[in-house]
Structure 1
Amino acid sequence: MGDESRVGEARRHAALLAEECGLDDVASGRLALVVTELATNLVRHAIEGRLLLAPHRARQVVEVIAIDQGPGIADVERCMGDGYSTGGTPGTGLGAVRRLADHFDLHSSVPGGTLAVARVGGGAASDAAQAGAISVAAAGEQVCGDGWAFALDGDRAAMIVADGLGHGPDAAEASAAALETFGEDPLASPRVLLERVHRSLRRTRGAAVMLLQADAAAGVVRSAGAGNVVGRLVSGVSDRTLLCQHGTAGVTIRTPEEISTPWPHHALLVVCSDGIETRWKAQTLAPLLSRDPALAAAVLMRDHCRGRDDATVAVLRRKD
């Protein structure tokens, strides 16, 4: 967000996404105010601010994520007070964002910066897990060659992260084919899904893929994958790495192996494509273990994106 004109640009884009997601006029108006407030804050106060907007068409939700690298908010509670505004923006402060959004969460550190996620539309979910993800394209590209998807069903949740080889439209085609196959039967075993994805990607350049199924009732995560997509299970007392086997889905892989790993209470299941540095410290996510998982994705994207490739962070949080 470099200048005031970008605020209007963001608001116009939000209007298009609202129409795509079938939001009514009232919800579209609320979204416009949310975007205006968050974007204006980035322009006026942030260092290296970025505003991300994403449609979730099946859920009729538009998600807005604001990310910056400082200076941070020293008194979050005061800034969250309804009507508080340092810039005289139409929404009259972050309190208005919290009131207008159907879901809102914020994390800030001084001097680290501020992360905020707001969603307009949809309803409350009763699943045992909550999901959030961010994908950004490589510099100079119009499309992202990575893809991600979640499926939440009561105590069970499934996720996929696919990183098409290279970047650009051909990489995006490969990851889209992987997501389409996942969507046909997302709660199948990861091993079976990997075999299906491998077959469906033969007509593409191929992709690195990780597939996971998490079962809160059983307290276990099952995973299978090929290539350089890495998962981690992070809780307040543990940090486990989930690795994929060598190979490229759609090109060459060994017989898929499925790994079972305990899923601790309140743990975050984090999966990153190779556009994210792998050696981030688990303590980075400690303040966010009980927060919206999109905030955990945002902090890793902000602080550990390599900046030379497509990058994805997908996070699944066990609620209990």
Structure 2
Amino acid sequence: MEVISGGFHAVFPMEDGSRVGEARRHAAQLALDCGLDETEAGRLALVVTELGNNLARHAVRGRLLLSPRPALGEVDVIALDEGPGIANLERSLVDGFSTAGTPGTGLGAVRRLARQFDIHSSVPGGTVVLARVGAGPGPQEGHAICVGAVAIAAPGERVCGDGWAFALQGDVAALLVADGLGHGPDAAEAAAAAIEAFMEDPLASPRVLLAHIHQRLRSTRGAAVMLLQADVASGTVRSAGAGNVMARLVSGTSDRALLSQHGTAGIAVRTPEEQCIAWPEHALLVVSTDGIETRWPPTVLAPLLGRDPTLAAAVLVRDHCRGRDDATVAVLRRKD
């Protein structure tokens, strides 16, 4: 079984080139935290520099998001912007292409330097770039499901009160998303306690896990939680939740919400109930905390159904974040 969890993404607005150095220094610390060797740390610095400079020079409201994944020996780098978009994506990945008189090696270099790379762009909506840098074998091999998540802290906070974790085993994947009440350190403590309880037996039924997490969170301020277990072989999703963490099954032809009962884990939860529904073949499972608007149109994810799930999560954070609370989106899908 492979367990994937991550801290939140530190956000660096790229209003001008001076912010690139700040992001690069933070990336250097993440490289140490994740055990990257000198070569990989150098690759990470170059990726952050290239993407940061591209955002500062060309983008509308460009932001770099950086997150460590120490257990996987890698660092996530995400570049977001709100325009103008890239009209010829294939050409933009060729060295020497430039629209601003620069050498034009940015995106091509990033793709070579990263262990995993993906990009989505629309005109005039904007661009999302994902680059993972690390020296390990790479996650999610040997499993039928791939996953991704983006989490950012509330404005002005140094920690995120949301938490997320995946467990992968062959045809089955389990997911927990927890939203500690409020935000700041106490909320983060509650979310961390939920993840710790989940990790003890992540492939147990969601109903059993919800009851277990409820007991473990009694010494905290409590959290809203959503638990999912997706099974490719049976084509089903089982779920149980308490509070306002939302879950949706979204594809080009369907959009269905998964039910969550009233209550707060650690404070008051009725006897946990479990739902089991069919999982359409091409549907994404999307779980988000209340820092994300709930009524986003499913069409925004249509171009991303077969892509790295982190891209879908990043697009929702970019376009539908409320901007006043912690915000998390976690996504999983079948592999092609």
- TM bracket, shorter-chain basis: over 0.9
Question: What stretches of structure 1 move > 6 A for 4+ residues in a row?
Answer: 88-91
The aligned counterpart of 1:10 is 23
Out of 213, 227, 242, the residue aligned to residue 211 of structure 1 is 227
Change (3 A) 1:145 1:91: farther
Please say if residues 265 and 318 of structure 1, whose CA atoms lie closer than 8 Å, have aligned partners that are also in contact.
yes
Q: What is the distance in 2 between the residues matched to 1:152 and 1:175?
A: 20
The yes-or-no answer on 1:191 pairing with 2:222 is no
Partner of 2:334: 318
Pairing 1:123–2:123 present: no
1:237 Cα deviation after fit = 1.7
Amino acid at match of 2:182: G
Aligned-partner Cα distance in 1 for 2:247–2:205: 17
The superposition leaves residues 111-146 of structure 1 with CA deviations (integer Å, 9 ceiling, x where unpaired) of 100001010123242311111111111112111111
- Amino acid aligned to 1:8: G
The sequence identity of aligned pairs, in percent, is 73
Residue 201 of structure 1 aligns with which residue? 217
How far 1:90 sits from its partner (Å)?
8.3
Task: Deviation per CA, 1:80-120: give whole Å up to 9, x if none.
Answer: 11343446778822011111111100000111000010101
CA distance in structure 2 between the aligned counterparts of 1:243 and 1:25, rounded to whole angstroms: 47
Output the aligned Cα RMSD.
Answer: 1.4
Distance 1:140 1:88 in 2: 37
Whole-angstrom CA distance in 1 between matches of 2:103 and 2:88: 21
Equivalent residue in structure 2 for 1:51, among 64, 78, 96: 64
Residues 232 and 306 of structure 1: CA distance in aligned 2, closer, same or farther (over 3 Å): same
Give the TM-score normalised by the residue count of structure 2.
0.92
How many residues get paired?
320
1:149 paired residue number:
165
Distance 2:129 2:94 in 1: 15
Q: How far apart, CA to CA, are the structure 2 residues paired with 1:139 and 1:90? A: 36
1-structure distance, mates of 2:108, 2:213: 44
Does residue 1:229 correspond to 2:242, yes or no? no
Take 1:211 and 1:95, find their aligned partners in 2: how far apart are those partners? 38
Q: What is residue 277 of structure 1 aligned with on the other side?
A: 293
Select 1:160's aligned residue among 176, 179, 193: 176
User: What is the Cα deviation at residue 271 of structure 1?
Assistant: 0.2
What residue ranges of structure 2 are gaps of 5+ in the alignment?
Answer: 1-13
CA distance, structure 1, for counterparts of residue 184 and residue 83 of structure 2: 31
Letter aligned with residue 14 of structure 1: A
Q: Which residue of 2 is the match for residue 174 of structure 1? A: 190
Paired letter, 2:287: V
SS at 1:201 equivalent: helix
Structure 2 letter corresponding to 1:140: G
SS in 2 for 1:278: coil
Cα 1:91–1:102 change in 2 (3 A) is: farther
Contact 1:266–1:319 (8 Å) recurs in 2: no
Provide the C-alpha distance between the structure 2 equivalents of 1:245 and 1:90, rounded to a whole number of angstroms. 55
CA distance in 1 between partners of 2:252 and 2:181 (Å): 34
Structure 1 residues 178 and 248, CA, compared in 2 at 3 Å: closer, same or farther? Answer: same
Query: Alignment partner of 2:226: what SS?
Result: strand
Residue in structure 2 matched with residue 78 of structure 1 by the alignment: 91
In structure 2, C-alpha distance between the alignment counterparts of 1:87 and 1:32, rounded to whole Å: 23
1:307 aligned partner: 323
Q: CA deviation at 1:14?
A: 1.1
